[in-house]
Structure 1
Amino acid sequence: MNTRPPRRERALTEALVEMADTLVADYDVVDLSHRLASHCVDLLPVAAAGLLLIDEHGDLRMLASSNEQARLLELFQLETDQRGPCLEAFHTGHPVLVDDLESNGRRWPAFAFEARRQGIRAVHVLPLRLRAETVGALSLFSNDVTSLSEDDRRLGQALADVATIGILQQRALERSETVIEQLQGALNSRVTIEQAKGVLAERGGIDVDTAFALLRDYAREHRMRLSDLARSVGVDRVVAADVLRRRSG
Structure 2
Amino acid sequence: MGQSRRDRLREQLIVDRAKSPASTVALVCARCVAELSVTGAGATVIGKHGQGEPGDKTPERGLVHATNPVSASLEGLQLTVGEGPCLDTFESGGPVLVADLAADGARWPAFTPGALALGAVAVFSFPLQIGVVRLGSLDLYRDVPGPLSRSEVTDALILADMATQGIVADLDGHDTADLSWLLDPHVEVHQAAGMVQVQLGVSTETALLRMRGHAFTHDVPLAEVARQVVARTLRLTEDEGRQ
TM-score tier (shorter): 0.5 to 0.7
CA distance in 2, matches of 1:181, 1:97: 26
Question: Relative to 1, partners in 2 of residues 1:34 and 1:182: Cα closer, same or farther, differing over 3 Å?
Answer: farther
| Percent of aligned pairs sharing the same letter | 33
Q: Do 2:95 and 2:127's aligned partners in 1 also have CA atoms closer than 8 Å?
A: yes
Relative distance call for 1:89 and 1:9 in structure 2 (3 A) is closer
Cα displacement string for residues 30-49 of structure 1 (whole angstroms, at most 9, x for unaligned residues): 82221121111111110001
State yes or no: 1:115 paired with 2:115: yes
Shift, 1:109, TM fit? 1.5
Residue 31 of structure 2 aligns with an amino acid whose one-letter code is H
**Aligned partners of 1:121 and 1:142 also within 8 Å:** yes
- Out of 17, 35, 41, which is 1:43 matched to? 35
Specify the SS of the correspondent of 1:160: helix
Determine the structure 1 residue equivalent to 2:132: 132
Please name the residue that 1:32 is paired with. Answer: 24
Which secondary structure does the structure 2 equivalent of 1:184 belong to?
A: coil
> Could you say which residue in structure 2 is the equivalent of 1:89?
89
Identify if the C-alpha distance between structure 1 residues 70 and 38 changes in structure 2 by more than 3 Å, giving closer, same or farther.
same
Higher relative contact order at CA 8 Å, sep ≥6: structure 1 or structure 2?
2
Instruction: Give unpaired runs (5+ residues) of structure 2.
Output: 52-58, 186-243
Given that residues 19 and 163 in structure 1 are in contact (C-alpha distance below 8 angstroms), is that contact kept between their aligned partners in structure 2? no
Give secondary structure in 1 for the equivalent of 2:97.
strand
Q: Partner residue of 1:70?
A: 71
Map of 2:190 onto structure 1 = none
Matched, 1:178 2:174: yes
Pair 1:10–1:160, CA change in 2 (3 A): closer
The CA deviation at 1:130 is 1.1
Residues 139 and 42 (structure 1), Cα distance of their counterparts in 2 relative to 1, 3 Å cut: same
Which protein has the bigger helix share? 1
Q: 1:10 to 1:42 in 2, by over 3 A?
A: farther
Segments of 5+ residues of structure 1 without an aligned counterpart are: 1-7, 22-27, 192-249
Q: TM-score, normalised by structure 1?
A: 0.59
Q: Deviations over 1:56-109 (max 9, x none)?
A: 75622222100001101111101x221011111011111000011011131211
Q: Distance in 2 between matches of 1:133 and 1:18?
A: 30
Aligned residue in 1 for 2:62: 61
CA distance, structure 1, for counterparts of residue 17 and residue 161 of structure 2? 11
In the aligned structure 1, how far is the partner of 2:165 from the partner of 2:23?
14
Aligned to 2:110, the other structure's residue is in SS state: helix
Q: Tell me which amino acid in the other structure corresponds to 1:97.
A: L
| Residue 18 of structure 1, CA deviation | 5.0
Question: Residues of 2 paired with 1:178 and 1:61: CA distance?
Answer: 14
**How far is the alpha carbon of 1:122 from its aligned partner?**
0.4
**What's the RMSD between the two structures over aligned residues?**
3.1
Taking a change above 3 Å as real, the CA distance of residues 113 and 146 of structure 1, as seen in their structure-2 partners, is same
How far apart are residue 182 of structure 1 and its match?
Answer: 8.6
Could you tell me whether the CA contact under 8 Å between 2:119 and 2:143 is conserved in 1? yes
CA contact (8 A) 2:98 2:124 kept: yes
* 1:15 equivalent among 12, 15, 27: 12
User: What secondary structure, in the 3-state scheme, does the structure 1 residue paired with 2:83 have?
Assistant: coil
Q: How far apart are the structure 1 equivalents of 2:8 and 2:34?
A: 8
* Partner amino acid, structure 1, of 2:42: G
Q: What code does the residue aligned with 2:78 have?
A: Q
String of CA shifts for 1:124-180, please: whole Å, max 9, x gaps.
Answer: 1101011001101011100111001111011011011012123235x96xxxx6344
TM-score, normalised to structure 2, is 0.61
